Structure 1
């Protein structure tokens, strides 16, 4: 119980440092990765990997949208 409370306090504290634009894709990925990681005993590693993957996917979607807008403007 003590670790859960410490983790929650740490998460809330670190959330204050995250910028809104940088968090796109990270939060959903971290939740999914944390749940999957929890199933195998590596909650925080899963959350970190999920965040990285979610951010990568968000960047890829944004590049695709930017390319589509640039092609439409021609």
Structure 2
């Protein structure tokens, strides 16, 4: 549980410091969800990267619909 909390804190901090909101639409939420799911499967970083990609894709798809 300690690793999960540290991982989520690191993802949140990286998102607050290094990401531009216009470019990271959907990425942060997807990365957190993917990171938690990946952590449960033993691949937290891979899950976070995949979650970011899926979240960004879904945000772009939603923006095009509007």
Find the structure with the greater CA-based Rg. 1
* Equivalent residues of 2:26, 2:55 under 8 A apart: yes
Aligned residues: 62
What is the root-mean-square deviation in Å for CA atoms of aligned residues? 2.4
Task: Report matched runs for 1:1-74 at 5 Å.
Answer: 4=6, 8=10, 12=13, 15-65=16-66
TM-score by length of 2: 0.76
Unaligned runs of 5+ in 1: 66-74
Q: Supply the distance in 2 between the matched residues of 1:13 and 1:33 (Cα, whole angstroms).
A: 15
TM-score by length of 1: 0.69
Which deviations, in whole Å up to 9, do the C-alpha atoms of 1:18-61 show, x marking residues without a partner? 11111110111001100110011000100000000000000000
Unaligned runs of 5+ in 2: none
Runs of 4+ more than 4 Å apart: none
